[in-house]
Amino acid sequence: MDVPSGYSPSTTDRDLLHFRRATSDIHAGGSRAIKEESIVSANSGTEKHVHGHQADHRPKRNGFGVAALVLGILAALTFWTVFGGIVCGVLAVVFGALGFRRKRRGEATNGATAVVGAVIGLIGLLVSSILLAAGLTFLNSDEVKSYSECVEHAGGKSDREQCAKDFDRDVRE
């Protein structure tokens, strides 16, 4: 077992490893109090207790927060594409929410990263959605429909050029 820095092993019990670290706190009025942390670890699976409370020493799981930040940045940088803005934005918001929930439960340490990733992802998602809606509205407009019909019935290059001029005039009006 690795010995944390600042701890010294106790020789009182061979089955259990006791590590004690004395730390001092200066309280109001200048009095000093010595606090002691004990970590008890053994093959029998005893738990760590710090100042009379059970401490949770599972490794922190920060993956959702990091994923939210990376996907949020991707969504913001590629908002002009459906995949980049919408898919990455939705995933960033979902992973950001999951990462923030882990932080609130004490399972992660990067709650702010998760929130920032979710916000950036939401911005990318919104901008991409607005662009998609504007593009679909434009493609379903009467001007585009009449241009498509004109090009279909055009006999040659000059007719197609006239369709383009008519389309340009219709769009500008």
Of 109 and 50, the structure prediction assigns the larger pLDDT to 109
Q: Rounded to two decimals, what is the model's pTM?
A: 0.59
- Asked whether residue 143 carries a pLDDT value surpassing 60, the answer given is yes
pLDDT at 4: 53
- Asked whether residue 153 carries a pLDDT value surpassing 90, the answer given is no
The answer to whether position 1 is within a domain reads: no
Residue 63's DSSP bridge partners are: none
pLDDT at 23: 36
- State whether 13 and 37 are in the same domain: yes
- State whether 127 and 149 are in the same domain: no
- State whether 74 and 130 are in the same domain: yes
- State whether 46 and 99 are in the same domain: no
- State whether 91 and 131 are in the same domain: yes
The answer to whether position 2 is within a domain reads: no
- State whether 71 and 103 are in the same domain: yes
- Domain span including residue 40: 8-54
pLDDT digits (tens, 9 = 90+) for 67-86: 999 999 999 999 998 878 99
> What single letter denotes the amino acid at residue 159?
D
- Asked whether residue 122 carries a pLDDT value surpassing 90, the answer given is yes
pLDDT at 155: 84
Mean pLDDT is lowest, of 50-64, 88-102, 106-120, for 50-64
- State whether 90 and 117 are in the same domain: yes
- State whether 133 and 100 are in the same domain: yes
- State whether 42 and 92 are in the same domain: no
- State whether 134 and 68 are in the same domain: yes
pLDDT digits (tens, 9 = 90+) for 40-69: 443 444 444 445 445 557 788 899 999 999
The answer to whether position 3 is within a domain reads: no
pLDDT at 78: 94
- State whether 154 and 132 are in the same domain: no
- Asked whether residue 6 carries a pLDDT value surpassing 60, the answer given is no
Picking from 37, 54, 71, the residue at the C-terminal end of a domain is: 54
Average pLDDT of 124-145? 92
- State whether 69 and 15 are in the same domain: no
pLDDT digits (tens, 9 = 90+) for 8-45: 554 444 333 333 333 333 334 444 443 433 344 434 44
Tally of domains in the chain? 3
